[in-house]
Structure 1
């Protein structure tokens, strides 16, 4: 009887979850229910899945509205009708500032319901007028009372109760960016838009019972069918339009790849190859592999660098097709982690491209494959953001809102409005707020995307499905992940820079991973954690882990890439792994069954595969149940009942096997700690391959690699730190120069010229002007020549002068600034006057002005963000004798004082809920000082941003890693800015 229901996917309007809507229908013993979100289909498939589980007949449609003004409701009679509705809605959503017309377009297999006040008088066979309970009195005096066959009951459902209605009003106020007290009635639904018991509904329409019968007849005539759970793949079925030809092509490509990948091909390779081909065919994933191969064949034709990672690296077919660069035979990777006959959901590859190349790859996919779209993500209301939004809606002052968002308040002293803000912020936490785009998920479907959902058009311009990856997988659509990664941009650009800067060097084969694995220089870098700028191995935590493990080989780096993940480290397994890695005697501490299952990682769970093996061999779960556990570990399905069933089965099996409750609980604790964090071994191996590529470049071409790092917006650290690293490797750093610099950073031999991109407030168009003019007509002679040739504002010239971009002139920059102020204004006045001969410049006698080296430092701080000189030179009191980082090893257990320049900090919450952090500093020589700030110290001596700190604490050592447990710290004062003081400026000597 309900033809117009909404969930909270009618964004900032509805307040019911799909589950709650269905629960209400069950409570009122409804046999069928029609979901019609407002201009959206986001919840449709999830609603169908949940309805079928609850034995309620699901019917789908769309409530077409301008704002909240209802124009009409379209209801699908069947899947064909739903596709028409989805396409129709998409036409609007792909149009900026769309307007829904008053009259719906005609589609077969659909019903149309117009609101009573719509002034539609001539109805088609499939069109009806909806009568709300509040319309019944008006109906008594309307001509429509003589045409009851064209009228249907239309009781809208948007909320569950009064609290839901209040929440709706708050959401509407947020959407309208207005105070709740000023929210117009025209922007609100009606408080009666709730679900009623059937008898109550009948009493509402007792004068016109036929309206309820008509509505029920519409529902009876509708039927929507989608396949869920064990759904067969719905992606493009065939690459060649013939599935047998597809398989022959896949086999041929795999065998063709053998000679490229292997020098010696043993029986193990052939056995694995045939096994995978058989499973891929049975699971109907042949076209999936071929489509990935096609995409990457195009990428190679364009010389784009890419990395295929994720569990797809467990496949030898993927390796042979050059989808990944990880040899699963070498690493003994578990193919069943990627695809197995028990796996109910489809696999996926993660294909990483440079951020510069990704858009072209996306365009290629949309051009090449027919039924294509991106996947959405649901951006939800977060608690703190909700407090801020609702605080504004209730009209609270900013100071009060700030207190609420930072928990800086006494609950007993809050007024009524503040309490309401906190109550409703918790209530709407997790509600979908707006649709975003999945970072890289693309669907390539056999049927049109609109068979499943409507699409919308985000700013990037790619059609995007209105559901997320979980729903896509449920219905059998598995995504292709086309991701953007700056690390690949660094590698590609570094290779290009090396080619330019060292034209006589042999060309770099950046894919020669086997050579890199054996390179002694790279091994030394790994052992000593000299990997700043290198993909995935540069962070302080990873740097310390590499030192602790003394890793110098591929397998060790693969393990380290996974051990560092929060799931392993927080569970205590990382520490246990390090102990067993360093001391073979401690491997005996492992449980014999676990050591037998995981000999390579000494009985410690490190990879997702390890968890699956433990669940299967230790916990007695079937491969199907273990795969369900794997799904649960991803974090996407943890709320589902299947995961709980698997947990119970695990404990029951362990009890039957005779494992103690204590041991079983500990193993399960370790398994749970992996949820949402664990890497597949193949994923870690893919990361390690990219790490080796960047390590090679850093080892042999450190300056070129640092320039590429800066040009690709760095990595873990701020740009300042990569400039520091370049200097530590022999680079001579120059400020931006009008005769040497480009928009990006540039290197000549060991001279690095910072690019105009590094300058705050300097406009891109001006950088382009400078480079274009210099390229066309040669280098600039002096300031006058520059002013003549480049039309640029005085403010922008001032920036260039202050950062010493005119240093080549040999003139004092204060004099240049004085001259620029005198001359640029005149040029601007006359810039549109064309003359045959160049006018003679008016010359001014420049007063003798001086500037200091310290002024340069403060100009650099202002316009570059850091000084190109040592920050230690800015201290008010120069440091005399001090202890350096490389000497700390001699002071283990002793209290010391050191001085360090702040690099970065990692904050973490202890089990007791208190804040502590780990710091990274550099000493005056440029070497690392690692610090630990336990909660008492962190609270009493907080870090106060960038600067030089006096650090007092105890030197500790663990697994050869030296750090300082900070007990006291003090941020040291720097000199006053000489540009704004009355002190006489000393002339440069």
Structure 2
């Protein structure tokens, strides 16, 4: 019955943390829910991963809005539908100005829900429906759409936990519109009744039209999404050459070809170590990762770029032979098992330092060479000072008072009502995602298209390549290379 729910990843709009949403749903006996953040799919994978723990079947999609005005909701019938939605959403996020149309283009394996109150079309396609809010029921009685009950659903939007959540929402909307709270238009706000409520409350609200709830429940249960969160099967690029058998033969060939560069007289200990590592790397399915790093560093050497491999990757003789690292683990008696062992499920790490002056060219090469690649972004959250300053402006406080409050050295009992409200609500929004920022250099190289996991957007800085370069909003099960501020390539798992 819940086809339109928002978390605080509906930036500067929603006020519910994803885990809190799931906890509340479990406490109310809700067994199925669709997460549809506004113009954002960042929380979807975590929602799918966590939902079973709370006894809830997850459905995912996106609430497409122009400002606060809801245009339509897209729900994914399956993983391919989610890919289609992310492709479609990314097209808008790649624009300089966000312009959401009143109707979407046809997308396979998706369901479209239009708000009944504002829908202007004359007909509906097979996968299209109208969502009727409880406040629209009297109007429905006199509408011709009543003659097509199979096309009507119950639309109860969930954006807030309670009244305080709605008040917080209004403050976030005022921050987003850069206006005083007293001047925030109603059209830029959500509805006060968009609260999470138990199924019994919805049954009572729609008691004259119970089939609306039945249609909605049936539609939700027709959707099925599935991702592997076991961490036993990496989602990074599985094959370097396109064939895992050829990958292994290439890794073996490169390893033995590097013997003459690293050793004058390799003994039996070296040869035994090579075979041991090759067997484990092959068995654990990490061959492509070694080859990807080898290719990147081969390019770096061809350009004369200096780099230093460090960390536990230096425990590998294969990495030493491929010139990923420059430490001889045999001479120093370093244990390979500290880097990779048969019990390790998550992929390994290579820490490689590059000069900041070479970073952009290395990044551009990676995008040219590997098909499903995206740079990584971060969510900048509201901290104490930022939240106090933003709320102080929304409440119309003078700069001197805002400076005093943001300083932190204050006595609440000496403050007036507005200043106390600033402090109260600043605590409410601390930790909320505020806006997207650029990661120092995280890069995802995925087996599947990036949009299989999430939508993407364009940052201010873009590499001008033949194909579009996208910044990843968020994903929860891809392996990445990370290029830190100091110029370090690391391999990390995104949160």
What's the TM-score bracket when you normalise by the shorter of the two chains?
Answer: over 0.9
Determine helix, strand or coil for the equivalent of 1:58: strand
* Alpha-carbon distance in structure 1 between the residues aligned to 2:482 and 2:410: 45
C-alpha deviation, 1:149, in angstroms: 1.3
C-alpha deviation, 1:143, in angstroms: 1.7
The one-character-per-residue Cα deviations of 1:941-963 (angstroms, maximum 9, x if unpaired) are xxxxxxxxxxxxxxxxxxxxxxx
Contact 1:347 1:478 in 2 (8 A): no
C-alpha deviation, 1:132, in angstroms: 1.1
Match of 1:266 in 2: 267
* Alpha-carbon distance in structure 2 between the residues aligned to 1:69 and 1:424: 25
The one-character-per-residue Cα deviations of 1:213-238 (angstroms, maximum 9, x if unpaired) are 11111111000000112330122221
Match of 2:102 in 1: 102
Match of 1:39 in 2: 39
Identify if the C-alpha distance between structure 1 residues 387 and 484 changes in structure 2 by more than 3 Å, giving closer, same or farther: closer
The one-character-per-residue Cα deviations of 1:69-117 (angstroms, maximum 9, x if unpaired) are 1111000001111111111111111121131111111112110001111
C-alpha deviation, 1:288, in angstroms: 0.9
C-alpha deviation, 1:483, in angstroms: 4.4
Match of 1:61 in 2: 61
Match of 2:14 in 1: 14
Identify if the C-alpha distance between structure 1 residues 53 and 273 changes in structure 2 by more than 3 Å, giving closer, same or farther: farther
Matches within 5 A, 1:247-646: 247-461=248-462, 462-467=469-474, 471=476, 475=477, 477-483=478-484, 485=486
Determine helix, strand or coil for the equivalent of 2:357: coil
* Alpha-carbon distance in structure 2 between the residues aligned to 1:331 and 1:192: 67
Aligned residues: 487
Determine helix, strand or coil for the equivalent of 1:271: helix
C-alpha deviation, 1:486, in angstroms: 6.5
Identify if the C-alpha distance between structure 1 residues 484 and 198 changes in structure 2 by more than 3 Å, giving closer, same or farther: closer
Match of 1:3 in 2: 3
C-alpha deviation, 1:327, in angstroms: 2.7
Determine helix, strand or coil for the equivalent of 1:118: coil
Contact 1:3 1:34 in 2 (8 A): yes
* Alpha-carbon distance in structure 2 between the residues aligned to 1:354 and 1:57: 47
C-alpha deviation, 1:289, in angstroms: 0.8
Identify if the C-alpha distance between structure 1 residues 401 and 484 changes in structure 2 by more than 3 Å, giving closer, same or farther: closer
* Alpha-carbon distance in structure 1 between the residues aligned to 2:347 and 2:493: 16
* Alpha-carbon distance in structure 2 between the residues aligned to 1:330 and 1:159: 61
Identify if the C-alpha distance between structure 1 residues 429 and 328 changes in structure 2 by more than 3 Å, giving closer, same or farther: farther
* Alpha-carbon distance in structure 2 between the residues aligned to 1:333 and 1:172: 56
Match of 2:465 in 1: none
C-alpha deviation, 1:261, in angstroms: 1.8
Determine helix, strand or coil for the equivalent of 1:4: strand
C-alpha deviation, 1:284, in angstroms: 0.7
Q: Which segment drifts farther, 305-314 or 72-81?
A: 305-314
Determine helix, strand or coil for the equivalent of 2:114: strand
* Alpha-carbon distance in structure 2 between the residues aligned to 1:55 and 1:201: 20
Contact 2:353 2:487 in 1 (8 A): no
Identify if the C-alpha distance between structure 1 residues 424 and 331 changes in structure 2 by more than 3 Å, giving closer, same or farther: farther
Match of 2:71 in 1: 71
The one-character-per-residue Cα deviations of 1:729-764 (angstroms, maximum 9, x if unpaired) are xxxxxxxxxxxxxxxxxxxxxxxxxxxxxxxxxxxx
The one-character-per-residue Cα deviations of 1:263-311 (angstroms, maximum 9, x if unpaired) are 3423333333222212211111101110111111111111122223333
Match of 1:521 in 2: none
C-alpha deviation, 1:122, in angstroms: 1.1
* Alpha-carbon distance in structure 1 between the residues aligned to 2:488 and 2:4: 49
Determine helix, strand or coil for the equivalent of 1:134: helix
Match of 1:879 in 2: none
Identify if the C-alpha distance between structure 1 residues 436 and 268 changes in structure 2 by more than 3 Å, giving closer, same or farther: farther
Determine helix, strand or coil for the equivalent of 1:440: strand
Identify if the C-alpha distance between structure 1 residues 460 and 339 changes in structure 2 by more than 3 Å, giving closer, same or farther: farther
Match of 2:175 in 1: 174
Contact 1:349 1:481 in 2 (8 A): no
C-alpha deviation, 1:338, in angstroms: 2.5
C-alpha deviation, 1:127, in angstroms: 0.1
Contact 1:348 1:479 in 2 (8 A): no
Matches within 5 A, 1:915-930: none
Identify if the C-alpha distance between structure 1 residues 182 and 330 changes in structure 2 by more than 3 Å, giving closer, same or farther: farther
* Alpha-carbon distance in structure 2 between the residues aligned to 1:394 and 1:167: 12
C-alpha deviation, 1:173, in angstroms: 1.1
The one-character-per-residue Cα deviations of 1:656-686 (angstroms, maximum 9, x if unpaired) are xxxxxxxxxxxxxxxxxxxxxxxxxxxxxxx
* Alpha-carbon distance in structure 2 between the residues aligned to 1:266 and 1:54: 57
Identify if the C-alpha distance between structure 1 residues 487 and 248 changes in structure 2 by more than 3 Å, giving closer, same or farther: closer
* Alpha-carbon distance in structure 2 between the residues aligned to 1:487 and 1:237: 23
Matches within 5 A, 1:790-939: none
C-alpha deviation, 1:399, in angstroms: 1.2
Stretches of 4+ aligned residues off by more than 6 angstroms:
634-637
* Alpha-carbon distance in structure 1 between the residues aligned to 2:46 and 2:390: 28
Match of 2:92 in 1: 92
Identify if the C-alpha distance between structure 1 residues 396 and 115 changes in structure 2 by more than 3 Å, giving closer, same or farther: same
Determine helix, strand or coil for the equivalent of 1:34: strand
Match of 1:125 in 2: 126
Q: What is the alpha-carbon root mean square deviation over aligned residues?
A: 2.0
C-alpha deviation, 1:38, in angstroms: 0.6
Identify if the C-alpha distance between structure 1 residues 404 and 267 changes in structure 2 by more than 3 Å, giving closer, same or farther: farther
Contact 2:31 2:56 in 1 (8 A): yes
Contact 1:350 1:483 in 2 (8 A): no
Contact 2:351 2:488 in 1 (8 A): no
Gaps of 5+ in 1: 489-633, 638-989
Determine helix, strand or coil for the equivalent of 2:113: strand
Contact 2:12 2:176 in 1 (8 A): yes
C-alpha deviation, 1:52, in angstroms: 2.1
The one-character-per-residue Cα deviations of 1:20-60 (angstroms, maximum 9, x if unpaired) are 11111111212211001111111010001100222311111
TM-score, structure 1 as length reference: 0.48
Which of structures 1 and 2 has the bigger CA Rg? 1
C-alpha deviation, 1:484, in angstroms: 5.5
Contact 2:7 2:14 in 1 (8 A): yes
Higher RCO structure, 1 or 2 (CA under 8 Å, sep 6+): 2
Gaps of 5+ in 2: 463-468
Identify if the C-alpha distance between structure 1 residues 443 and 487 changes in structure 2 by more than 3 Å, giving closer, same or farther: closer
* Alpha-carbon distance in structure 2 between the residues aligned to 1:125 and 1:381: 43
C-alpha deviation, 1:635, in angstroms: 12
Match of 1:820 in 2: none
The one-character-per-residue Cα deviations of 1:437-484 (angstroms, maximum 9, x if unpaired) are 32222111111111111111112223122215xx2xxx2x21122446
